[in-house]
Amino acid sequence: MTNAGDVITELKPLSGNVSAQSNYAYLFEWHEYYTPKALNQILEKGLRAKVAKSPFTLEGKQYDYGTIMIPVRNQDLDASELHSFLSEVANDSKLQIIAVGTGLTKGIDLGSNDFDRLKKQKVAMLVGSGVRYADAGEIWHLFDTRYDMKLTKIDTEYFNGVDLSDYTDIIIPRSSGSALSKKDADKLKEWVKAGGTLIGYINVAEWLDKNEFLKLEFKKDTTRVAKNISFEQKNDFNGAQVTGGAIFEARLDRSHPVNFGYKNNRLALFRNSNVYIEADKHSYNNPIQYTNNPLLSGYISEENAELIKNSVPFVVKRMGKGRVIVFTDNTNFRAFWYGTNKLLMNAIFFGGMM
Protein backbone atom coordinates (compact mmCIF):
# COMPACT_ATOMS: atom_id res chain seq x y z
CA MET A 1 0.00 0.00 0.00
CA THR A 2 2.98 2.34 -0.52
CA ASN A 3 1.03 4.25 -3.20
CA ALA A 4 -1.93 4.95 -0.93
CA GLY A 5 -2.61 8.59 -0.09
CA ASP A 6 -3.70 10.12 3.16
CA VAL A 7 -6.88 8.91 4.82
CA ILE A 8 -9.86 11.07 3.79
CA THR A 9 -11.84 12.00 6.87
CA GLU A 10 -13.90 14.85 5.43
CA LEU A 11 -15.33 15.71 2.02
CA LYS A 12 -15.46 19.45 1.60
CA PRO A 13 -18.15 20.69 -0.81
CA LEU A 14 -16.91 22.28 -4.01
CA SER A 15 -17.26 26.01 -4.38
CA GLY A 16 -17.10 28.37 -7.32
CA ASN A 17 -16.04 31.97 -7.72
CA VAL A 18 -14.66 34.63 -10.03
CA SER A 19 -11.09 35.63 -9.18
CA ALA A 20 -11.68 39.39 -9.65
CA GLN A 21 -13.54 41.91 -11.77
CA SER A 22 -12.01 42.33 -15.24
CA ASN A 23 -12.24 45.05 -17.84
CA TYR A 24 -10.88 42.71 -20.53
CA ALA A 25 -12.06 39.08 -20.39
CA TYR A 26 -12.87 36.04 -18.26
CA LEU A 27 -11.65 32.47 -18.79
CA PHE A 28 -12.65 29.06 -17.51
CA GLU A 29 -11.41 25.65 -18.58
CA TRP A 30 -13.78 22.96 -19.84
CA HIS A 31 -12.57 20.27 -17.43
CA GLU A 32 -15.26 20.35 -14.74
CA TYR A 33 -18.49 18.35 -14.93
CA TYR A 34 -20.86 21.33 -14.85
CA THR A 35 -19.08 23.50 -17.42
CA PRO A 36 -21.83 22.79 -20.03
CA LYS A 37 -24.41 24.11 -17.55
CA ALA A 38 -22.36 27.26 -17.06
CA LEU A 39 -21.85 27.84 -20.78
CA ASN A 40 -25.55 27.33 -21.45
CA GLN A 41 -26.43 29.97 -18.84
CA ILE A 42 -23.98 32.40 -20.41
CA LEU A 43 -25.32 31.88 -23.94
CA GLU A 44 -28.96 31.97 -22.77
CA LYS A 45 -28.18 35.38 -21.27
CA GLY A 46 -27.26 36.56 -24.76
CA LEU A 47 -23.58 37.02 -23.90
CA ARG A 48 -20.73 36.52 -26.35
CA ALA A 49 -18.44 33.57 -25.64
CA LYS A 50 -15.67 31.83 -27.54
CA VAL A 51 -13.85 28.50 -27.24
CA ALA A 52 -10.09 27.93 -27.60
CA LYS A 53 -9.06 25.38 -30.22
CA SER A 54 -5.51 25.11 -28.82
CA PRO A 55 -3.78 25.37 -25.43
CA PHE A 56 -2.12 28.63 -24.36
CA THR A 57 -0.49 30.31 -21.36
CA LEU A 58 -1.66 33.64 -19.97
CA GLU A 59 -0.45 35.54 -16.89
CA GLY A 60 1.51 32.48 -15.76
CA LYS A 61 -1.39 30.01 -16.00
CA GLN A 62 -1.73 27.26 -18.60
CA TYR A 63 -5.11 26.79 -20.31
CA ASP A 64 -6.17 23.61 -22.10
CA TYR A 65 -8.11 22.81 -25.26
CA GLY A 66 -11.72 23.97 -24.94
CA THR A 67 -11.12 26.91 -22.61
CA ILE A 68 -14.09 29.29 -22.69
CA MET A 69 -13.51 33.05 -23.01
CA ILE A 70 -16.10 35.71 -22.21
CA PRO A 71 -14.94 39.16 -23.39
CA VAL A 72 -16.04 42.18 -21.36
CA ARG A 73 -16.52 44.60 -24.24
CA ASN A 74 -19.50 44.61 -26.60
CA GLN A 75 -21.74 42.73 -24.17
CA ASP A 76 -25.30 43.59 -23.17
CA LEU A 77 -24.07 43.90 -19.56
CA ASP A 78 -21.58 46.48 -18.33
CA ALA A 79 -18.37 45.36 -16.60
CA SER A 80 -19.87 45.37 -13.12
CA GLU A 81 -23.06 43.58 -14.18
CA LEU A 82 -21.06 40.97 -16.08
CA HIS A 83 -18.87 40.26 -13.07
CA SER A 84 -21.94 39.88 -10.87
CA PHE A 85 -23.65 37.52 -13.32
CA LEU A 86 -20.56 35.35 -13.82
CA SER A 87 -20.17 35.15 -10.04
CA GLU A 88 -23.66 33.62 -9.88
CA VAL A 89 -22.79 31.21 -12.71
CA ALA A 90 -19.52 30.19 -11.02
CA ASN A 91 -21.23 29.57 -7.70
CA ASP A 92 -24.08 27.60 -9.30
CA SER A 93 -21.79 25.34 -11.35
CA LYS A 94 -18.89 25.19 -8.84
CA LEU A 95 -16.43 26.70 -11.31
CA GLN A 96 -13.29 28.79 -10.97
CA ILE A 97 -13.58 31.65 -13.46
CA ILE A 98 -10.40 33.66 -13.96
CA ALA A 99 -10.38 37.39 -14.68
CA VAL A 100 -7.58 38.42 -17.08
CA GLY A 101 -6.29 41.85 -17.99
CA THR A 102 -4.61 41.22 -21.31
CA GLY A 103 -4.92 39.19 -24.49
CA LEU A 104 -1.18 38.74 -24.92
CA THR A 105 -0.51 35.06 -24.47
CA LYS A 106 2.14 32.44 -25.00
CA GLY A 107 0.44 30.41 -27.70
CA ILE A 108 -2.79 31.43 -29.37
CA ASP A 109 -3.87 35.05 -28.94
CA LEU A 110 -7.25 35.74 -27.30
CA GLY A 111 -8.24 37.85 -30.30
CA SER A 112 -7.18 35.33 -32.93
CA ASN A 113 -9.17 32.99 -35.14
CA ASP A 114 -8.06 30.14 -32.87
CA PHE A 115 -11.04 31.10 -30.72
CA ASP A 116 -14.38 30.12 -32.28
CA ARG A 117 -17.50 32.05 -31.39
CA LEU A 118 -20.23 29.96 -29.77
CA LYS A 119 -23.95 30.33 -30.27
CA LYS A 120 -26.98 29.49 -28.20
CA GLN A 121 -28.18 25.97 -28.92
CA LYS A 122 -31.77 24.86 -29.32
CA VAL A 123 -31.88 21.08 -29.09
CA ALA A 124 -34.63 18.59 -29.96
CA MET A 125 -34.83 14.83 -29.45
CA LEU A 126 -37.00 12.24 -31.14
CA VAL A 127 -39.29 10.21 -28.88
CA GLY A 128 -42.30 7.97 -29.33
CA SER A 129 -42.94 4.97 -31.54
CA GLY A 130 -39.74 3.24 -32.61
CA VAL A 131 -37.49 5.11 -30.16
CA ARG A 132 -36.16 3.23 -27.15
CA TYR A 133 -37.72 5.06 -24.21
CA ALA A 134 -34.97 4.22 -21.71
CA ASP A 135 -32.26 5.74 -23.90
CA ALA A 136 -34.38 8.83 -24.56
CA GLY A 137 -35.05 9.16 -20.83
CA GLU A 138 -31.34 9.08 -20.01
CA ILE A 139 -30.66 11.92 -22.44
CA TRP A 140 -33.61 13.95 -21.18
CA HIS A 141 -32.41 13.48 -17.58
CA LEU A 142 -28.94 14.75 -18.52
CA PHE A 143 -30.36 17.94 -20.02
CA ASP A 144 -33.12 18.58 -17.51
CA THR A 145 -31.62 17.51 -14.19
CA ARG A 146 -27.86 17.80 -14.62
CA TYR A 147 -27.39 20.77 -16.92
CA ASP A 148 -30.69 22.65 -16.66
CA MET A 149 -30.91 22.86 -20.45
CA LYS A 150 -34.09 22.95 -22.49
CA LEU A 151 -34.76 19.89 -24.64
CA THR A 152 -37.75 19.71 -26.98
CA LYS A 153 -39.17 16.21 -27.43
CA ILE A 154 -40.59 15.56 -30.91
CA ASP A 155 -42.83 12.52 -31.30
CA THR A 156 -42.07 10.43 -34.37
CA GLU A 157 -45.77 10.25 -35.21
CA TYR A 158 -45.97 13.95 -36.02
CA PHE A 159 -42.33 14.54 -36.95
CA ASN A 160 -43.14 15.26 -40.61
CA GLY A 161 -45.33 18.21 -39.61
CA VAL A 162 -42.73 19.90 -37.36
CA ASP A 163 -40.77 22.95 -38.51
CA LEU A 164 -37.14 21.98 -37.85
CA SER A 165 -35.63 25.34 -38.76
CA ASP A 166 -35.74 26.56 -35.15
CA TYR A 167 -33.40 23.79 -33.93
CA THR A 168 -29.62 23.74 -34.03
CA ASP A 169 -29.32 20.08 -32.97
CA ILE A 170 -31.52 16.99 -33.19
CA ILE A 171 -30.76 13.80 -31.28
CA ILE A 172 -32.03 10.36 -32.31
CA PRO A 173 -31.65 7.86 -29.44
CA ARG A 174 -31.35 4.12 -30.06
CA SER A 175 -34.29 3.24 -32.28
CA SER A 176 -35.92 0.51 -34.28
CA GLY A 177 -35.82 0.63 -38.07
CA SER A 178 -39.41 1.83 -38.23
CA ALA A 179 -38.88 5.00 -36.17
CA LEU A 180 -38.59 7.26 -39.23
CA SER A 181 -39.74 6.91 -42.84
CA LYS A 182 -37.85 7.68 -46.04
CA LYS A 183 -39.77 10.95 -46.23
CA ASP A 184 -38.63 11.81 -42.71
CA ALA A 185 -35.05 11.02 -43.70
CA ASP A 186 -35.23 13.38 -46.67
CA LYS A 187 -36.57 16.12 -44.42
CA LEU A 188 -33.72 15.61 -41.97
CA LYS A 189 -31.16 15.74 -44.78
CA GLU A 190 -32.37 19.15 -45.92
CA TRP A 191 -32.22 20.41 -42.33
CA VAL A 192 -28.64 19.15 -41.89
CA LYS A 193 -27.53 20.65 -45.21
CA ALA A 194 -28.86 24.01 -44.02
CA GLY A 195 -26.55 23.88 -40.98
CA GLY A 196 -28.10 21.54 -38.40
CA THR A 197 -26.21 18.98 -36.33
CA LEU A 198 -27.79 15.52 -36.31
CA ILE A 199 -26.66 13.17 -33.52
CA GLY A 200 -27.53 9.47 -33.73
CA TYR A 201 -26.94 6.80 -31.10
CA ILE A 202 -25.98 3.14 -31.39
CA ASN A 203 -28.04 1.34 -34.07
CA VAL A 204 -29.14 4.66 -35.57
CA ALA A 205 -25.70 4.51 -37.21
CA GLU A 206 -27.00 1.75 -39.50
CA TRP A 207 -30.11 3.79 -40.37
CA LEU A 208 -27.99 6.83 -41.17
CA ASP A 209 -25.73 4.72 -43.38
CA LYS A 210 -28.69 3.10 -45.16
CA ASN A 211 -30.30 6.48 -45.82
CA GLU A 212 -27.05 7.98 -47.12
CA PHE A 213 -26.44 10.60 -44.44
CA LEU A 214 -22.88 9.29 -44.28
CA LYS A 215 -20.96 6.26 -45.42
CA LEU A 216 -19.85 3.82 -42.73
CA GLU A 217 -18.01 0.53 -42.91
CA PHE A 218 -19.29 -1.82 -40.24
CA LYS A 219 -17.28 -4.67 -38.79
CA LYS A 220 -19.38 -7.84 -38.62
CA ASP A 221 -18.69 -11.47 -37.78
CA THR A 222 -19.35 -13.49 -40.93
CA THR A 223 -17.58 -16.67 -39.83
CA ARG A 224 -19.62 -17.71 -36.79
CA VAL A 225 -21.35 -21.03 -37.44
CA ALA A 226 -23.28 -23.19 -34.96
CA LYS A 227 -21.56 -26.57 -34.78
CA ASN A 228 -22.74 -29.34 -32.48
CA ILE A 229 -25.42 -26.96 -31.14
CA SER A 230 -28.85 -28.51 -30.59
CA PHE A 231 -32.13 -26.66 -31.00
CA GLU A 232 -32.43 -26.60 -27.22
CA GLN A 233 -29.08 -24.79 -27.02
CA LYS A 234 -29.90 -22.26 -29.74
CA ASN A 235 -30.87 -19.41 -27.38
CA ASP A 236 -27.74 -19.88 -25.30
CA PHE A 237 -25.61 -19.93 -28.44
CA ASN A 238 -27.05 -16.62 -29.68
CA GLY A 239 -27.24 -15.12 -26.19
CA ALA A 240 -23.51 -15.55 -25.77
CA GLN A 241 -23.06 -12.81 -28.40
CA VAL A 242 -25.01 -10.20 -26.46
CA THR A 243 -22.94 -7.40 -24.97
CA GLY A 244 -25.25 -6.54 -22.11
CA GLY A 245 -23.01 -3.95 -20.49
CA ALA A 246 -19.23 -3.81 -20.33
CA ILE A 247 -16.50 -1.19 -20.06
CA PHE A 248 -13.89 -0.60 -22.74
CA GLU A 249 -10.82 1.59 -23.15
CA ALA A 250 -10.37 4.07 -25.98
CA ARG A 251 -7.56 6.38 -27.05
CA LEU A 252 -8.37 10.08 -27.36
CA ASP A 253 -7.07 12.79 -29.64
CA ARG A 254 -7.52 15.65 -27.16
CA SER A 255 -7.17 18.29 -29.86
CA HIS A 256 -10.50 17.25 -31.40
CA PRO A 257 -13.54 19.24 -30.16
CA VAL A 258 -15.43 16.07 -29.18
CA ASN A 259 -12.74 15.48 -26.53
CA PHE A 260 -12.49 19.00 -25.12
CA GLY A 261 -12.47 18.87 -21.33
CA TYR A 262 -10.73 15.51 -20.95
CA LYS A 263 -7.31 15.71 -19.32
CA ASN A 264 -6.09 12.23 -20.25
CA ASN A 265 -5.58 10.49 -23.58
CA ARG A 266 -7.52 7.41 -22.43
CA LEU A 267 -11.24 7.14 -21.70
CA ALA A 268 -13.41 4.32 -20.31
CA LEU A 269 -16.65 3.92 -22.27
CA PHE A 270 -19.75 1.92 -21.36
CA ARG A 271 -21.12 -0.24 -24.17
CA ASN A 272 -24.27 -2.34 -24.43
CA SER A 273 -24.43 -2.91 -28.17
CA ASN A 274 -22.67 -4.78 -30.97
CA VAL A 275 -22.37 -1.95 -33.49
CA TYR A 276 -18.73 -1.76 -34.61
CA ILE A 277 -17.39 0.75 -37.13
CA GLU A 278 -14.09 0.52 -38.99
CA ALA A 279 -11.61 3.31 -38.34
CA ASP A 280 -11.03 5.87 -41.09
CA LYS A 281 -7.79 5.65 -43.06
CA HIS A 282 -6.92 9.18 -41.91
CA SER A 283 -5.95 9.15 -38.23
CA TYR A 284 -7.31 12.66 -37.60
CA ASN A 285 -10.81 11.31 -38.37
CA ASN A 286 -10.53 8.86 -35.45
CA PRO A 287 -10.49 11.12 -32.36
CA ILE A 288 -11.92 8.29 -30.23
CA GLN A 289 -10.65 4.82 -31.04
CA TYR A 290 -10.72 1.59 -29.09
CA THR A 291 -7.34 0.16 -28.17
CA ASN A 292 -6.11 -3.21 -29.39
CA ASN A 293 -7.08 -4.84 -26.09
CA PRO A 294 -9.94 -2.61 -24.89
CA LEU A 295 -11.93 -4.71 -22.40
CA LEU A 296 -11.61 -3.19 -18.91
CA SER A 297 -14.52 -4.87 -17.13
CA GLY A 298 -17.47 -7.10 -18.00
CA TYR A 299 -18.24 -9.75 -20.58
CA ILE A 300 -17.81 -9.76 -24.34
CA SER A 301 -17.76 -12.84 -26.57
CA GLU A 302 -14.53 -13.87 -28.30
CA GLU A 303 -16.04 -12.97 -31.68
CA ASN A 304 -17.06 -9.46 -30.61
CA ALA A 305 -13.78 -8.95 -28.76
CA GLU A 306 -12.07 -9.24 -32.13
CA LEU A 307 -14.49 -6.87 -33.82
CA ILE A 308 -14.15 -4.09 -31.25
CA LYS A 309 -10.35 -3.93 -31.51
CA ASN A 310 -9.28 -0.58 -32.99
CA SER A 311 -12.84 0.20 -34.07
CA VAL A 312 -14.30 3.69 -33.53
CA PRO A 313 -17.29 4.56 -31.30
CA PHE A 314 -17.59 8.07 -32.75
CA VAL A 315 -17.87 9.37 -36.32
CA VAL A 316 -18.60 12.85 -37.65
CA LYS A 317 -19.17 13.83 -41.28
CA ARG A 318 -20.06 17.08 -42.97
CA MET A 319 -23.25 17.34 -44.98
CA GLY A 320 -23.70 20.70 -46.66
CA LYS A 321 -23.35 23.33 -43.92
CA GLY A 322 -24.20 20.83 -41.17
CA ARG A 323 -22.80 17.79 -39.42
CA VAL A 324 -23.90 14.18 -38.92
CA ILE A 325 -22.54 12.63 -35.72
CA VAL A 326 -22.68 9.01 -34.59
CA PHE A 327 -22.04 7.50 -31.16
CA THR A 328 -22.09 3.70 -31.04
CA ASP A 329 -21.88 3.67 -27.22
CA ASN A 330 -24.33 4.84 -24.58
CA THR A 331 -22.68 7.98 -23.22
CA ASN A 332 -25.45 8.54 -20.64
CA PHE A 333 -26.12 5.03 -19.31
CA ARG A 334 -28.70 5.04 -16.50
CA ALA A 335 -27.57 8.51 -15.36
CA PHE A 336 -24.63 7.10 -13.42
CA TRP A 337 -21.96 6.82 -16.13
CA TYR A 338 -20.72 10.38 -15.63
CA GLY A 339 -17.41 10.07 -17.47
CA THR A 340 -18.82 10.28 -21.01
CA ASN A 341 -21.69 12.74 -20.49
CA LYS A 342 -19.48 15.53 -21.80
CA LEU A 343 -19.08 13.81 -25.19
CA LEU A 344 -22.71 14.58 -26.00
CA MET A 345 -22.38 18.14 -24.69
CA ASN A 346 -19.29 18.65 -26.86
CA ALA A 347 -21.25 17.46 -29.88
CA ILE A 348 -23.97 19.99 -29.02
CA PHE A 349 -21.81 23.06 -28.36
CA PHE A 350 -18.82 22.34 -30.64
CA GLY A 351 -20.37 20.23 -33.41
CA GLY A 352 -19.93 22.97 -35.99
CA MET A 353 -16.16 22.90 -35.41
CA MET A 354 -15.85 19.19 -36.12
The least confident of 43-47, 103-107, 131-135, 329-333 is: 103-107
Give CA separation, 276 vs 100, 216, 247, 310, in Å.
45, 10, 15, 10
Judged by average pLDDT, the poorest of 73-77, 239-243, 350-354 is 239-243
For the chain, what is the mean pLDDT? 93
Please state the domain extents for the chain. Answer: 17-117, 123-353
pLDDT at position 220 is 86
| Band of residue 341 on the pLDDT scale cut at 50, 70, 90 | very high
3-state helix, strand, coil in the chain (%, to 5): 30, 25, 45
Q: Is the pLDDT of residue 264 over 70?
A: yes
pLDDT range class, residue 178, cuts 50, 70, 90: low
- Single-letter residue type at 138: E
Q: Is the pLDDT of residue 181 over 90?
A: no
pLDDT (0 to 100) of residue 354: 95
Q: What is d(CA 354, CA 350) in angstroms, rounded to the nearest whole number?
A: 7
pLDDT value of position 232: 85
Asked if pLDDT for residue 17 goes beyond 80, the answer is: yes
How large is the average pLDDT for residues 74-98? 96
Q: Band of the pLDDT at 287, cuts 50, 70, 90?
A: very high
User: Quick check: 106 pLDDT over 90?
Assistant: no
Measured between alpha carbons, how far is 305 from 290 in angstroms, rounded to an integer? 11
pLDDT of residue 231: 85
Tell which residue, 34, 32, 33, 28, has the closest CA to residue 49: 28
Q: Summarize pLDDT for 136-172 with one digit per residue, the tens.
A: 999 999 999 999 999 999 999 999 899 999 999 999 9
Rounded to two decimals, the pTM is: 0.92
The string of pLDDT tens digits covering residues 46-70 is: 999 999 999 999 999 999 999 999 9
Q: What are phi and psi of 90, to 5 degrees?
A: -60, -45
Dihedral sign computed on CA atoms, order 18, 149, 132, 259: negative
Beta carbons within 8 Å of 4's beta carbon, 6+ residues apart: none
Q: What is the percent of the chain where pLDDT is above 90?
A: 79
Question: What fold does the segment set 123-353 form as a domain?
Answer: Rossmann fold (3.40.50)
Q: Per-residue confidence at 1, pLDDT binned at 50, 70, 90?
A: low
Kind and range of the H or E element at 139? helix 133-141
Instruction: Grade residue 230 by pLDDT with cuts at 50, 70 and 90.
Output: confident
Three-state DSSP at 269 gives strand
Torsion of Cα atoms, 63 then 67 then 73 then 78, to 10°: -100
